[in-house]
Amino acid sequence: PGRSKMAACSGRGRDGSHSLDKSITLPPDEIFRNLKNAKRFAIDIGGSLTKLAYYSTVEHKVAKVRSFDHSGKDGSSELLYEISVQEEITARLHFIKFENTYIETCLDFIKDHLVNTETKVIKATGCGAHKFKDLLEEKLGLKVDKEDEMSCLIKGCNFVLKNIPHEAFVYVKHADPEFRFQTMQPDVFPYLLVSIGAGVCIVKVESEDKFQRVGGSSIGGGTFWGLGALLTKTKRFDELLQLASRGQHTNVDMLVQDSYGGAYESLGLTGDLIASSFGKSATADKEFSKEDMAKSLLHMISNDIGQLACLYTKLHDLKRVYFGGFFIRGHPVTMHAITYSINFFTKGEVQALFLRHEGYLGAIGAFLKGAEEDNPNQYSWGENYAGSSGLMSTSPDIYPLQRARSGTFDMLEMDRLERQLVSLPLLLDTSSYVPDTVDLAQDAMAREYWLSCFEEALDGVVKRAVASQPDLPDAVERAEKFRRKYLHKLQTLRHQPLTLPGEDGTVAHRKFLQSRYCILVEFTCLNTRSIDIKQKENDIALKCFQRVINSLNALGWEERQFALVKGLLAGNVFDWGAKAVSDVLESVPEFGFEEAKRKLQDRPWLVDSYNEWLERLKGPPHKCALFFVDNSGLDIILGVFPFVRELLSRGTEVVLACNSGPALNDVTYNESQIVTERIAVMDPIIQLALKEERLLLVQTGSSSPCLDLSRLDKGLANLVRERKTDLVIIEGMGRAIHTNYYAALRCESLKLAVIKNSWLAQRLGGKLFSVVFKYEAPPK
C-alpha cells in the first residue's frame, strides 16, 4: 500500500522501436554543432529519450567601430570612425534530444569529432543512466558521474524559467492561439513542480538550492500506459493518446446527470461532471470502444493529478504550478485535461503552467552541476533561434508526419549574453506585458504579409552580405546556406504557425528579425557595409547639425516645439530597415532631410496627441527622460539630438538608450558615443550636459530592431531607478509600433513613428508616411 514516488522513466523504450533502422542517415554536423570546442558533457537518459548537453565556445566575426582621433581638428579626416572586423568568442550551451535507439550512433559521432577536450567526466542522470553507463564510458572514454534525477530537474527548471523569455505557457484548447506564453517573472520562486513520469512527484521549490518533495501519487503516466495497454490492447503510449483524442468519455464514465438526471444544484455540480470514472463499464452486456476507454482513462488520471496538485498548492499557499514529465510532453490532449482539472478544483484561482523546454530540464540540470565553476547562473542566456528547434507540436492529432520526423532530433542552443537582462522598472505590470503588438500566430493576414515581405527582402540581405565580404572566397556559399535556412524557417511558419523552429508560439516579426540576425551571425555574413552606409549618413548629418539648431533657435517657443517633433519624425523616415526607404536610399542617396519633412503626413496625424504633449510642455519640466532611439544618421543627429537638447534646456535629464549590438541601421551604443562626442564639440549645451552627467548614454542589452522592455540591460534599469525617470520616449516602427504600441507604463510616455510600410499603414487606416504620435500619461 501507500503513496508513491515519481519515476520519470518507464522501464523500456517504446515497444517496437528496436526494429527501427539504426543506420538512418543523420545530418550530424547540423545537430552536434561546435563539437571541436565542446566540454562539460552531461546526459539525461530517460525511458525512451536521451538528452545530451555540452558547452562550447563559438567564434564569429563582428564589426566594431572605433573613433578616429579628432583632436587635431584640421578637418582633413572626413571619416567619423574606423571599422574593423574582429573575432568575438561567445559561450554557447547545446542541448540535443533524440530517441534512445540512436544513442550508440550519436556517441560514435561525438567521439570522432571531439578533439582537444580536457573533459574527463560526463554527468549523467535519468533512469537510463545506469543502464547505459558502460556504453558511455566505453564510447566516449569519459567517466560517468551520476547525479540525482530530481535535483537535476529542479536546477534545469530554475534555469529555463530565469533565462528563456516566454518559457512557461498556459494551454487553452480551441483558443487562437492555443498557447499563451507568460512573461518572465522577476522572481520565479516559490513554485510547485508536478512531474508526471510513471508516477507523480510533487516538489515545492523555494529557492535556487532549496526544494522539497512534498508529495506524490502512484497514478501517473505509467498507469495511463499500463492500464491503457490492458484495456485497449494498444501497446504504444502515443497511440493511446491518439485513441484518447478521438474518444467520448461519457460512454464509459458515470456523470452527475446519469444519477441526478441533471445538475446537483445545491452543490453547484454540473450535470456533465464525472461522478464515477468507468462507472458505466460495470456490466457484461456492453462493449466499449478503445477510444472511449482511453479517453475516460486520460480524464481519470489527469483529473486525479490536478486534484492532488491543487491540494498541495493550497496546503503550501502557492500560486504557480508547473507540469512536466513524459505524460505531458507537449501533448495538447493531456495539457487540456490537466488545465481543465486545475481550473475546476481551484475554481479558476490557479493556472496550470507548462514549459517549452520541459524535456531538457534534467539534462540542463546535470550540465549545470558539472559546470558550476563557469558560473552559468551569473549570466543571462538567450535562446539561439538559429540553432533551436523550438516548440514542436507533439500533438497526436496534428501533423503526425511532422511529429514522426521532429521526434527524432530536437535541439536547443543558448548563447551567453554579455549582460544581465531585467525588466524595465517603469512597466505598469510586468506579468501582463507583451512586447509584440500583433501576434502572427493569431493573425493570418499579418502573417502572410510579413512572410512575403521577408521572402522578398531576403535577396537583398544576401546580396549585401556577400558584397560586404569581397575578400572571403566562401562568402557566396555561406550566404546561400543562410538563404536556405532562413527560407526553410519562413516556409515552416507559413504552414504551421505554432511550430516554427525557434519560435515559441507568439510568433512576432520581432523574432524573425532576431532569427535572421542569429543565422547571419552563424554564417558569419555580418555585413560591414551597413556600417559604411551608416557612416556616410552620419557624416552628412553632422555637417547639417549646426544649421538645423540655428534655424530652430530662430523660432518662437511654440513653433519650435512643433519643429522639434517634426524633425524627430522626419529623421525617422531614414531607415533602410524598411523596404520603401531602402529602395530610395540605394537609388538616390542624397534624399534630404527637408524632403523627408515634406513627405510627412500633415496634421491631424493618424494618431495625434500632439496638443496634449504641447500642453504638458507648458507645465513643469520632467525630472528625467529615457529615450529609446532608432536609426543612425539623420535620425539620431538631426532628429533626436535637437529634441534632447531642448529637454536638457528645460532642466530634464536625458538617458539615451541604444542597442548593444548591430541591427539593420540602428544606432549602436558604440556609435552613439562617437556621435555624441562629435556633437558635443559643436554644441555647448550638449557638452555641459555630458560633463555634468545630465545626458547619459546607456545600452539596452539588445541587438534587435524591436524592443522588449522585459529584457533590458540591468545597468539601464538601475539608472532609470536612480534618476527617477518620469518620461519614456520610444521612437520608430520597430520599437513603438510593432512592439510596445500597447505597453502600459507607470510614467508618462511618448511613442512616435512614421509608418514606412504601405501594408501596415493601410491596416492602421492610414497611408504611407502616416504619423503616429502617441502621448500618454499613466492612469491616476
Footprint of other proteins (CB under 8 A)? 1-7, 9-12, 15, 127, 148, 150, 197-199, 213, 215, 217-223, 225-227, 229-231, 235, 237, 252-254, 256, 258-262, 264, 266-267, 274-284, 288, 293, 300, 303-304, 307-308, 311-312, 314-315, 345
Q: Which is nearer to other proteins, 343 or 673 (CB)?
A: 343
In the three-class reduction of DSSP (H, G, I as helix; E, B as strand; rest coil), residue 448 is classed as helix
Measured distance CA(148)–CA(127) in Å, rounded: 10
Q: Which is nearer to other proteins, 244 or 466 (CB)?
A: 244
**Minimum separation from the CB atom of position 337 to other proteins (A):** 13
Question: CB atoms < 10 A from the CB of 144, how many?
Answer: 18
In the sheet with 381-383, reading across from the earlier edge strand, the strands are 143-146, 121-125, 39-45, 49-67, 81-99, 409-416, 381-383
In the three-class reduction of DSSP (H, G, I as helix; E, B as strand; rest coil), residue 580 is classed as helix
Residue with cell 535519468: 126
**Minimum separation from the CB atom of position 106 to other proteins (A):** 25
Q: Which is nearer to other proteins, 211 or 381 (CB)?
A: 211
In the three-class reduction of DSSP (H, G, I as helix; E, B as strand; rest coil), residue 526 is classed as coil
DSSP codes joined into one string, 71-88 = TT--S-----EEEEEEEE
Measured distance CA(388)–CA(163) in Å, rounded: 15
**Minimum separation from the CB atom of position 274 to other proteins (A):** 4
Q: Which is nearer to other proteins, 114 or 150 (CB)?
A: 150
Residue with cell 513542480: 193
Cα dist. 536→542, 633, 665 in Å? 10, 8, 12
Residue with cell 522585459: 710
Question: CB atoms < 10 A from the CB of 429, how many?
Answer: 10
**Minimum separation from the CB atom of position 376 to other proteins (A):** 24
**Minimum separation from the CB atom of position 322 to other proteins (A):** 19
**Minimum separation from the CB atom of position 626 to other proteins (A):** 47
Measured distance CA(324)–CA(321) in Å, rounded: 10
Q: Which is nearer to other proteins, 9 or 541 (CB)?
A: 9
**Minimum separation from the CB atom of position 279 to other proteins (A):** 3
In the three-class reduction of DSSP (H, G, I as helix; E, B as strand; rest coil), residue 737 is classed as helix
Measured distance CA(676)–CA(545) in Å, rounded: 12
Q: Which is nearer to other proteins, 5 or 39 (CB)?
A: 5
**Minimum separation from the CB atom of position 206 to other proteins (A):** 16
Q: Which is nearer to other proteins, 11 or 620 (CB)?
A: 11
Measured distance CA(757)–CA(754) in Å, rounded: 9
In the three-class reduction of DSSP (H, G, I as helix; E, B as strand; rest coil), residue 355 is classed as strand
Continuous segment of H or E residues that includes residue 306: helix 290-315
| 8 Å CB contact between 125 and 146 | yes
Q: Which is nearer to other proteins, 329 or 738 (CB)?
A: 329
DSSP bridge pairs for 82: 66
Question: CB atoms < 10 A from the CB of 66, how many?
Answer: 11
Q: Which is nearer to other proteins, 127 or 466 (CB)?
A: 127
| 8 Å CB contact between 692 and 723 | no
Shortest CA distance to 499 belongs to which of 486, 489, 510?
489
Q: Which is nearer to other proteins, 302 or 699 (CB)?
A: 302
Assigned C-alpha cell, 158: 530554475
Q: Which is nearer to other proteins, 215 or 577 (CB)?
A: 215
**Minimum separation from the CB atom of position 6 to other proteins (A):** 7
Q: Which is nearer to other proteins, 85 or 229 (CB)?
A: 229
The DSSP bridge pattern shows strands 39-45 and 49-67 to be antiparallel
Shortest CA distance to 500 belongs to which of 399, 648, 378?
399
Ramachandran bin of 150, using left for φ above 0, alpha for ψ from -120 to 50, beta for the remaining angles: alpha
Assigned C-alpha cell, 599: 513627405
Residue with cell 491503457: 228
DSSP bridge pairs for 637: none
**Gyration radius (Cα) of the chain, Å:** 29
**Minimum separation from the CB atom of position 34 to other proteins (A):** 35
The contacts of residue 120 (CB under 8 Å, 6+ apart) are 142, 143
Question: CB atoms < 10 A from the CB of 57, how many?
Answer: 14
Q: Which is nearer to other proteins, 34 or 217 (CB)?
A: 217
**Minimum separation from the CB atom of position 314 to other proteins (A):** 6
Measured distance CA(510)–CA(435) in Å, rounded: 9
Q: Which is nearer to other proteins, 302 or 665 (CB)?
A: 302
**Minimum separation from the CB atom of position 283 to other proteins (A):** 7
Q: Which is nearer to other proteins, 256 or 771 (CB)?
A: 256
**Minimum separation from the CB atom of position 331 to other proteins (A):** 17
Respond yes or no on whether the N-terminal peptide bond of residue 501 is cis (omega within 30° of 0).
no
Q: Which is nearer to other proteins, 311 or 428 (CB)?
A: 311
Measured distance CA(225)–CA(10) in Å, rounded: 9
Q: Which is nearer to other proteins, 329 or 622 (CB)?
A: 329
**Minimum separation from the CB atom of position 748 to other proteins (A):** 47
In the sheet with 770-776, reading across from the earlier edge strand, the strands are 607-608, 770-776, 748-755, 727-731, 624-628, 653-658, 695-699
**Minimum separation from the CB atom of position 325 to other proteins (A):** 12
**Minimum separation from the CB atom of position 361 to other proteins (A):** 18
Q: Which is nearer to other proteins, 345 or 775 (CB)?
A: 345
**Minimum separation from the CB atom of position 221 to other proteins (A):** 8
Question: CB atoms < 10 A from the CB of 103, how many?
Answer: 21
**Minimum separation from the CB atom of position 160 to other proteins (A):** 23
Measured distance CA(658)–CA(668) in Å, rounded: 5
Shortest CA distance to 709 belongs to which of 445, 461, 344, 433?
433
Continuous segment of H or E residues that includes residue 680: helix 669-682
Respond yes or no on whether the N-terminal peptide bond of residue 604 is cis (omega within 30° of 0).
yes
